[in-house]
Amino acid sequence: MVYVLDEPSAGLHPQDVTALLGILDGLKGKGNSLFIVEHSVAVMRHADWLVDIGPGAGEHGGRVLYSGPPDGLADIEESVTRGYLFGGRGLPLRTPREARSWLSLENVTRNNLHDLTVDIPLGVFTVVTGVSGSGKSSLVSQALPSLLGDRLGRAVPADDEPVSDESLLADAPERLDGRVAGPVTGVRRLIVIDQRPIGRTPRSNVATYTGLFDHVRRRFADTPEARSRRYKPGRFSFNVAGGRCPTCEGEGSVMVELLFLPSVYTECPDCHGTRYKASTLEVTWRGRTIADVLSMSVEEANLFFVGDEEITRSLAALSDVGLDYLRLGQPATELSGGEAQRVKLAAELQRAQRGDTLYVLDEPTSGLHCADTDRLVAHLQTLVDAGNTVVAAELDMRVVAVADHVIDLGPGAGDAGGTVVAAGTPAYVADKGVGASAGYLAAALQAATNVTPL
């Protein structure tokens, strides 16, 4: 039997990864073969055969750099993975920041959290960790946004959350109880950056979500050809009638209904996927049509719009979070959860930072390569350096090790979890030696001492 698994360790605590490896070994021991797509260093080291594809993403990837026993990857200089598998590359340790004030949540009850009281420091990077099902998502992505949102006058429904491991372990959906105790100083905005789609239809894409497409449409509307035809910026939108293709209504594809089978989408027979009328595509800017621009990757667009600060600001933010390879017009429905989350983060990075925002993220590094994780964490640290607060549920101990404050929930999952096992700096939580995370965190702190800063 051949088993194919796509990132089976995503969303698992290191303790659960160890258990997963035992299960995989059991399958292999019975004569089966396992083909696994994976980013976990622990799983890669445990493999019998490793295939590394790269060296980059998108057009810069797609090549097999190495195929063989894991130890052989050490000789492949072009491999980004090599530095993480054999040490020397990663997130360097930093001195934990001091909290400027504290946010106190009292008597929180949600799923397996029962009458929980927890203090969250403001102005620092806080990580909430613990075994899968310990209550991280219930606290970070449900209780915190809802309770703080109510306090700030911005309601965030607790039941408008994706299904999490905590909710699956709960006997039944529970109401959210609790309150924010004391004053809330220095927080005026609450932003949840999750992995939910940036849109649910092909009309939503990277360019529209980040706002850069508004500027692009204005550039086309300002051309002499567009002015002579009296085309306004709306003419170059595929979301409103006017310049868009009337057949597909700006989607670039049409739905074909199949009898007794699911409907499928196929390229529009009139605009051939460009989304626009032929007359709209007769207008060019720097020799390119609006459809050409939407087909550009972020990297290509950075070169095309060089010198145009309004547009390159958004493009630079997308590049900074490692999304150079995405097309500007890439539909939201084609983005992975991790990509959608980074697009949201890029939209925040291009904002003028006022230092009064609390950002909430639920396992932001899930499904990311170590190099992408490092880049993401670097930008989260940038948000904190600007005076903001970041609170993230996280299972990657490399990330936990570079946080300013750690809240370890547990000790187990479901009814055996939901309590604060330890809280403090990463070194304090590791040294305390209580809970499932302490040993793995101690190992991550030790490994980080050998990291060479880039």
> Which residue ranges form the domains of the chain, and what is each CATH number?
2-85 (3.40.50.300), 101-197+336-448 (3.40.50.300), 206-320 (1.20.1580.10)
Best CA proximity match to 191, nearest among 320, 362, 56: 362
pLDDT-based confidence at residue 161 (cuts at 50, 70, 90): very low
Helix axes 212-221, 309-320, angle to 10 degrees: 150
How many percent of the chain have pLDDT more than 70? 95
**Contacts (Cβ under 8 Å, ≥6 apart) of 20:** 8, 9, 12, 43
Give the DSSP H or E segment for 19.
helix 14-29
For residue 88, report the phi and psi dihedrals to the nearest 5 degrees: 105, -20
Q: Is residue 301 within 8 Å of 328, Cβ to Cβ?
A: yes
Question: pLDDT tens digits, residue range 19-65?
Answer: 999 999 999 999 999 999 999 999 999 999 999 999 988 778 899 99
What residue type is 31 in one-letter code?
G
Q: Per DSSP, what are the bridge partners of residue 130?
A: 409
Residue 142 is given by DSSP the state: I
**159 with 167: CB under 8 angstroms?**
no
Is residue 165 over pLDDT 60?
A: no
Q: What pLDDT score was predicted for residue 454?
A: 59
Q: Can you say whether the dihedral through the CA atoms of 321, 326, 332, 337 is positive or negative?
A: negative
Beta-sheet strands, E only, within 82-165: 101-110, 113-122, 125-130
The residue length of the chain stands at 454
Residue 144: which residues within 8 A CB-CB, separation 6 or more? Answer: 105, 120, 360, 391
Lowest mean pLDDT among 68-82, 128-142, 146-160, 227-241: 146-160
pLDDT at residue 79 above 60? yes
Enter the tokens of residue 405. 């404050």
CB 65 within 8 A of CB 78: yes
Pinpoint the alpha helices (H) of 229-297.
290-295
Amino acid letter, 341: Q
pLDDT band at 453 (very low <50, low <70, confident <90, very high): low
Between these two residues, 306 and 167, which has the higher pLDDT value?
Answer: 306
- Kindly report the pTM of this predicted structure: 0.86
| 381-408 residue pLDDT tens | 999 999 999 999 999 999 999 999 999 9
Please report the pLDDT score of residue 169 as a whole number. Answer: 46
Strands 33-37 and 2-6: parallel
Q: Residue 88: helix, strand or coil by DSSP?
A: coil
For residue 4, what pLDDT band results from cuts at 50, 70 and 90? very high
Rounded distance, CA 400 to CA 85, Å? 18
Examine the pLDDT at 297 and tell me if it is beyond 60: yes
| pLDDT value of residue 163 | 44
Query: What are the residues facing 121 on neighbouring strands?
Result: 102
Report the chain's mean pLDDT, rounded to a whole number.
90
156 pLDDT exceeds 70? no
SS3 393: strand
Torsion of CA 364, 367, 370, 376, to 10 degrees: -30
pLDDT by residue (tens digit) across 166-223?
444 444 446 789 999 988 888 999 999 888 888 877 778 999 999 999 999 999 999 9
Cα–Cα distance measured from residue 233 to residue 244, given in angstroms and rounded to the nearest whole number: 12
Residue 433 vs residue 280, higher pLDDT: 280
Instruction: Please report, as a single letter, which amino acid is at residue 231.
Output: Y
